[in-house]
Structure 1
Amino acid sequence: MVSDRTTVRLRVGHALTVTETGLAFLQDARRRGELCRPLDWIPEVYHAVGGGEAVIPDALLYYRSGREGGEGAMLRAFVEVDRATMGPERLAAKLNSYARLHHHVPAAAPGRRQRQAFQEPAQEEWRRNYPLFPRLLFVLDSTGPAGIATRIRALRAAAEDLALTGFIRDVPVLAAPLVDLLQGGPAEPVWHPVRDHGSTVSWTHSWGL
């Protein structure tokens, strides 16, 4: 019973923090005259990666930068909210899951393999839904500055794995404390890129994409 109560409490706390994070993006977009509406924050979108497994981000974010009604870029992001309920290494291991999604090409059904022999090669599954792979945002909460720094270091250490080179090169991966998002707004340069140890940026940074 105690274990069940603890699990429920953790789940409720996590859900509230995910909601608080989403509201931060929505309110910031309103202040800046940009476009992000409640239905642009979609919790727990299922993305299959084969073998009956899936990647399910805490939220999928759609956000149009630039003044509402004018020209702007449509940005998409997978958002992972971490409340320090797992160790830094387990958090950093999520990079491998997203890299797997980035590379996942669904296998053709047995009856279609011969017909596909003269067709174009199969593409990654995510391309059916997104023109670019969404950015990956880690929002860190429930720990002090030292804990935040430890978790960012763990993400950066994991990103140095040669198996993740292509993913880290192609996909912006950023981490920021929730308290900074709430104080200054998510669009402020409070995000730590995992591939650049010497700067903080806005999550809307172009990255040359």
Structure 2
Amino acid sequence: MKRLNFVPLPPAACVVRPQYEQIETVELSSPALKVMTDLTWVRAVTTQPQTGLNNVHEHMIHNGVRMLLVTDGQQHVVGILTANDLLGPRPLQMASELGIGHDKLRVEHVMTPARNVQVLTYRDVTHADVQEIVNTLRDAARQHALVIEPSDRGQCIRGIFSMAQIERQLGVHLEPTRATHNLVELEHEMSS
């Protein structure tokens, strides 16, 4: 019977990182797809409407994300939940409105329902560059944008843009609340 031979672990051996964790540096003129988290390659981090807020915050931290897709039992998206939803005034407002303790709040109480979520189309994104995505997020004062595309199951979320991810790939901090309307202005900020 054939067997493999063990060899000693070399000193200072490293651990291989998955391809999706490698951050590719980009420029403002790079294709937008270079900064989109493509859900055909990376599993979306999700939660359910009935999950308690304390548990979901830990879930975000554990997965290193600041936005979760909220899905129902059939895996249909019923909303989104961001770190701002959890850490901002919304939980206290909802606890007061509902007359319940903070510890009783669930995702469904503070999430943004799907009917209120605006998305980008994959078709448009394939023709855009990074600067256009940055401008779009900044003009809307948003940290995230979902990207949808048609499939045999209807419209599906194909990707996610995250301002934090774009900043890492550009190697610069971008202020999301003030719109940048041209390349010269953004490049000036990057060089400052």
Give me the TM-score of the superposition, normalised by structure 1: 0.25
| Structure (1/2) with the larger helix percentage | 1
Give me the TM-score of the superposition, normalised by structure 2: 0.27
**Higher RCO structure (Cα 8 Å, ≥6 apart):** 2
Larger Rg: 2
